[in-house]
Chains A and B, each alone.
Chain A
Amino acid sequence: MINYLSLLILQGATDSRVSSAWDGIKQPDLSKFLVIAALLFIIGVMGVLVRRNIIVIFMSIELILNAANLNFIAFSRYLFNTGSPNAIAGQVFTVFIIVVAAAEAAIGLGIVIALYRNRETIWVDEIDLLKW
């Protein structure tokens, strides 16, 4: 019985389609990182579009920036392994993205505090001063 099962599994593993999918899971490559980064990005976009709380919207923006960072690092590693002369540029760019994200968070949260002091709300659909 066990022999039969193992035979089945082995046959399944030698089937080219099954084995390629299983290899993809067993040995994640650049494309897996890109898919994870894309999903993170989309979850961030969803957060920006769907939530009413302005602080959670800022957090979603951080998610988006982090997805971009993951993309940069994955490509940096890929280019390093394929012998690109300046593959480290991706990591340097990521450092700058982190700096910009920190500055953005500081300014954005300052605006949130000023807004809360004047309007007493953090729900974005109630912040409609610029609407006609």
Chain B
Amino acid sequence: MVDTLLSISGLTKAYPGVVANDAVSFDIAKGEIHALLGENGAGKSTLVKMIFGLVAPDKGSMTWDGAAFAPTKPSDARRAGVAMVFQHFSLFDALNVAENVALGMEDPPKPRDLARQIREVSETYGLPLDPFRTVGTLSAGERQRVEIIRCLLQEPRLLIMDEPTSVLTPQEVEILFETLRKLKSEGTSILYISHKLEEIRALCDEATILRRGQKVATCVPRETTAREMAEMMVGASFATPEAKPHVPGEVLLKVQDLSMPAPGAFGTPLRSISFEVRAGEVLGLGGVAGNGQDELLIALAGERPAPAGSLFLKGQDISAAGPVARRDAGLLSGPEERLGHAAAPDMSLVENGVLTAVRRQEMLRNGFISWGRARGFAEAVIERFDVRTPGPQTAARALSGGNLQKFVVGREISQDPDVLIINQPTWGVDAAAAAFIRQSLLDLASKGGAVVVISQDLDELMEVSDRFGALNEGRLSPIRPVSELDIEKIGLMMGGAHDMEVAHVAE
């Protein structure tokens, strides 16, 4: 067919112990926005890497515009007209925008010409960007612009976007969609990878759904409900988390005018943050990545002591207390980064359990660790939170992201905290497991705990929170009840669309 740009037939790729893609076939038409849907580990990334020439398929073939297409390296794919915006940005912090763009191009022009081209493209598509800024100083949204402009400069025929909206405010998402629709109207095909179903319904013409490496369905997103797509992804139906009715109790955690300088060269300072959380309540804190989420978690957890008089737990000033003292007092926390921050990668689940639970679960006997108790605790967490692991002695590193996340969240919840601070509780976790984690957070609150959920997933925050606040450049917006809010208002609380403008579609 003439209209088909890329046709994939029977692509198979196996890694030791796992078939990442099993005979996947689908077509992408010219000027089509095609969604690729699937849970983590469904094989989306492997498939994309094969199209981009980073991985060679074991079996199967691709045709590009009617001719056989078998890229062996990314430059082959780029030459054919494939461009890719990566999920974890493929950017270099210490280099400037123009250098970053040049690294992603086959034949970059001279630096001065390149800077001019960057300015031109950024104006045409409403993505303002200074070519000589150092990338490390840019916000997440701006960094994504660098990636997109790098792709657009090569005038791609197929643009692959891997989870592009996870770092954007709703307004920025709308602007991105305008840019993509403009590209589509110019005849560019887009392969759009995401698990945000409402976005796919708003943007995409067709969707291919992968599950455990196999194509399980295709659908037209506009005519399918998000729930149906989610169930196709998971392969089963699952319960939506439900909050039990409860009345907020006394104030457990009070943060008063908390200000702290940025911890490192590329960090965010906290600027006079104040809020209260009551027993039985879930407070959701949203915001685009890099606006102070990590810094706030570190300050609340006690990894960096706060200025005196800024943190109160049950009326006691805990500003100067370290993490151990705060844990003893009933304030537990779970950071975003699973490997290396929430869990020690090369230590077993039992040992990782000991690291945060040793005192609250009374695992010490005369200064020695009681490994029997430690093992019992780890097994209880594994059992209760359905962590898929060969056993409690398995190293944390060996677990898949979702399973490790269930373990680290479960480890804190199992210790019955009075206050739980958790950053990105369901990041990279499949829909069913995410629903389960959210339900456990709600259950904790209904038992009288105070929960602070920091997340970039607005749907999650809308689902679990009673009240919502947004972080923007280290400041916290006024906190408002979720029942009064909609996505539009939340977007404005998060700082709106910064300095972006809508693409000049009329041109």
A, B assembled together: no
